[in-house]
Amino acid sequence: MNFEVVITCAVTGAGDTVGKHPALPVTPEQIAAAAIEAAKAGAAIVHCHVRDPETGKGSRDVALYREVVARIRAADVDVVINLTAGMGGDLVIGPDEDPVKFGGDTDLVGALERLPHVEELLPEICSLDCGSLNFGDGSLVYVSTPDMLRRGAKRIRELGVKPELEIFDTGNLSFALRMLREGLLEDPPLFQLCHGIPWGAPADVGVFKSLVDQLPLDANWTAFALGRYQMAFAAQAVILGGNVRVGLEDNLYLDKGVFASNAQLVERARKIVEMMGARVLGPAETREKFGLVKRA
C-alpha cells in the first residue's frame, strides 16, 4: 500500500463531453479556474487539455495553452502542471471501399508537431501516449508508432520535462519499458495506467494488477478508470502502491445523476485516501518524489 499519495486532477480532456455536463470547462479561463480549484481541494498535479472556445472540441492551439498556463502560474496556489502531448494522433479510417479516404475529424501530425506548447511553456510533466489504439466502436484509431514515440521521448528529455507514460494496454507498457532500456527515459520513470477506454485495458482489477506487477521497482505510477469506476480504482491504486487520478476528463458524475466539479472529485478522492490511513502529498513533496523540475 502507498501511504503517501499524489492526487492528479484531469480537468477537461478532449472527448465529446461538451453538452453532456452543464459546466464542463471549455475556455482557457474556465480550464484554469477549474485547475486552481482542484489544487486548492488537494490535487498536487493538474493535467490540462485545451478546447476550441467556439466549438468545444479538443485543440492543439498554443495560444490557448499559453493562457491556461499563465493563469495557473499567476494564481495564489502552488500546483504541478501536466500538459497533454497526445493531441495530433487521431486518424479516422475511411469507408471500407476506400479506407485511405480519411474522415474529416482526422488530426494526425508527427511526434515533434505534438510538442510546440511543451517547447514554449515547459510544464513540469507532459503526457506521452505509449502506443496506437482502436478508440471506440467506430473507425477512429489513435496513432503513436514506435518511431514517433522514440522521437518524442528524446525531445521531451532534452527539454527537461518529465514524460508521463500513458499505458492503455499491455503492449504499451512493453514498449515503454523498451524505451527505458534504450536510455530514452530518465529515472525514476512516471507511468499512468489507463483503464476503461474502449478498446484498451478494461477496468478489471486482475488486468490492473498484472500491469502493476510489470512496473520497475523504482517507478512512480498513477492509475485511473473511466466513469463509475473512477473512485473504486482510486482506492485500488492506493492499495497496490500507486497514486490517484480523478477529474472531469474521466468521469462527469459525483453520484448517480449528480454532476461533479473537478474540485468535488478531488475532495472525494482525498477523503478516500485519508480514510484508508494514507496522507495526500502537496506539490513540493510531489516534485521531490517524482523528480520534477519546478518552473517559474
Give the containing element (helix H, strand E) for 173: helix 170-181
Q: Is residue 72 part of a domain?
A: yes
Q: What's the whole-number average pLDDT of the chain?
A: 97
Identify residue 113 by its one-letter amino acid code: E
- Which range marks the domain in which residue 203 is found? 4-290
User: Mean pLDDT, to the nearest integer, of 15-31?
Assistant: 95
Structural domain count, the chain: 1
More confident residue, 85 or 293: 85
Q: Is residue 128 part of a domain?
A: yes
Q: Is residue 177 part of a domain?
A: yes
Q: Is residue 296 part of a domain?
A: no
Looking at residue 71, its pLDDT comes to 98
Q: What is residue 258's three-state secondary structure?
A: strand
User: Mean pLDDT, to the nearest integer, of 69-84?
Assistant: 97
Looking at residue 74, its pLDDT comes to 97
Give the containing element (helix H, strand E) for 89: strand 89-92
User: Mean pLDDT, to the nearest integer, of 173-201?
Assistant: 96
**Separation in Å, CA 241 to CA 59, 199, 213:** 34, 26, 11
| Percent above pLDDT 90 for the chain | 97
The answer to whether the beta carbons of residues 205 and 236 sit under 8 Å apart is yes
104-163 per-position pLDDT tens digit = 999 999 999 999 999 999 999 999 999 999 998 899 999 999 999 999 999 999 999 999
Q: Is residue 295 part of a domain?
A: no
pTM, rounded to two decimals: 0.97
Looking at residue 136, its pLDDT comes to 86
Q: Is residue 31 part of a domain?
A: yes
Closest alpha carbon to 288 in 41, 6, 1, 76:
6
| Maximum alpha-carbon separation in the chain | 58
240-294 per-position pLDDT tens digit = 999 999 999 999 999 999 999 999 999 999 999 999 999 999 999 999 999 998 8
Looking at residue 114, its pLDDT comes to 98
Q: Give me the half-sphere count of Cα atoms (radius 13 Å) on the Cβ side of residue 88.
A: 21
Which residues make beta-bridge pairs with 193? 167, 223
Supply the DSSP symbol for 245: E
| Domain of residue 42, CATH code | 3.20.20.70
